[in-house]
Structure formats: C-alpha cells, structure tokens
Amino acid sequence: NDLPETIYVRAFEDRMDLLRVVMVGASRTPYHDGLFFFDLQLPPSYPDAPPQVYYHSFGLRLNPNLYESGTVCLSLLNTFGGEGTEVWSSTASSLLQVVVSIQGLVFNDKPYYNETGYETMVDKPEGRRNALPYSENAYLLTLRTMLHLLHRPPRGFEEFVKEHFRHRGRFVLRTCNAWLQGNIVDNAHATEVSRKQPCSAGLRL
C-alpha cells in the first residue's frame, strides 16, 4: 500500500522472503525515464534486521550510493553510518520506507553531493564546478543502463520494460536532444524548454 506511482514491486509466491522492485527515474534528474531494478531479501532475523538489497548495476556506477557490485550504501540498510531515524528500527522502519528512501535520497537531481563529505560543498564554486560533469556522466550511464535492460530485462519484468520504453522512448530521445541544446525538458511536455542549463562539450561528444 501507498507505493508512489513510479515504484513497482513484484513478490514471489514460492519465496515470500524475496521481492523485486523497479523505480522510474524522476524528471529534472540525470535519471529521468530510466528504470532501476533492486532485489530485496528478508533475512531470517527480519524485522530485527533490515532487508538485504541488491542493485542491478550492469557493472555501471551511476551514483555514489550504488556500487558496481550491486551494494546499496544507505544508513537505513545499515550499510552506511547513521543515527536515530536514519538507521533501521525493528519497530518503526518498513519496506516501504526503504524503497521510498532509495528513490528520494539516491536518485536526486544532484547526485554528486551524495558522496561522503561532499555535502559541505553545496552552493560553493568547487561543488557547482564538479556537480555538473558528475550529473552528465550519471545521465550517460543511465542511458547505458536502458540499453542493458532492453537486451536483458530482469525476469518477471520483460513486458514492463518493453512497454515502458515503447511509451517513453521518444521522450528519452527528446531529452537527449535537449541536453545537446543545453536545455532541460519538462517531463509532461517534452518539446518545451523549461529552463536553461549548461551542457559540456564532453556530453555533446
């Protein structure tokens, strides 16, 4: 219940300890219209311990919190330091909180600042200088992830992947063109330029 409309979950009748989750990248982020798959396993000690989460990375690291190995670095999963409500609680935390946290905290508009210690550079010249190329690279890796998913969709989501890109593929291409123009397009009206944003020569190349 209460899942955001951009998060989908599939359960397995013969393995109630397993879940497969897919998230749709939000507009105005480097992950726009991308699909991101996670497998969750509930350990025998659940809910005293958090679920174990594996990210389908295809060997790509498009975010500081998501490793090529599939590890998801997040306080709520006890894979990163934290305190209070940031860490898993057997009485207060939930699977819904896990998936919503991954979508909101990881797939944001400026993933560069997710790197440990980099939050101190928000709105500073060095931070702004480094955040743009990081976001551009994250966008390129998101496009590569799309290609991997089209060739090797995760089991149980084959039709979902096809339908997603059948409906959103043209918008993905328009977004690519908008980045080449140095613009960002609005998700609902992908032909309209919503705001200007610099675009490096490296991204155009």
* DSSP string across 55-124: E--TT---BTTB-TTSBB--GGGTSS---GGGS--TTT--HHHHHHHIIIIIS-S-GGGGSTTGGGGTTS
Residue (of 153, 128, 150, 144) closest to 176 by Cα position? 144
CA–CA separation, 163 vs 168, rounded Å?
A: 8
Q: Indicate if the pLDDT at residue 184 is higher than 70.
A: no
Active site residues: 73
Structure tokens at 133: 């190329």
pLDDT of residue 45: 96
pLDDT, tens only, 111-144: 989 888 777 777 777 878 888 889 999 999 999 9
The DSSP symbol for 157 reads: -
**For the structural domain made of 7-181, what CATH number should be given?**
3.10.110.10
Which residues pair with residue 21 across a beta bridge?
A: 9, 38
Residue 178's pLDDT band (boundaries 50, 70, 90)?
confident
Instruction: Kindly tell me the sign of the dihedral angle through the C-alpha atoms of 21, 140, 58, 131.
Output: negative
State how far the alpha carbon of 51 is from the alpha carbons of 28, 67, 80, 84, 178, in Å. 30, 17, 14, 18, 39
Measured in whole angstroms, the distance separating CA 176 from the mean position of its chain's CA atoms is 18
Residue 181's pLDDT band (boundaries 50, 70, 90)?
confident
CA–CA separation, 146 vs 176, rounded Å?
A: 13
End-to-end CA distance of the chain: 44
Average pLDDT estimate for 101-105: 94
pLDDT, tens only, 63-85: 999 999 999 999 999 988 777 77
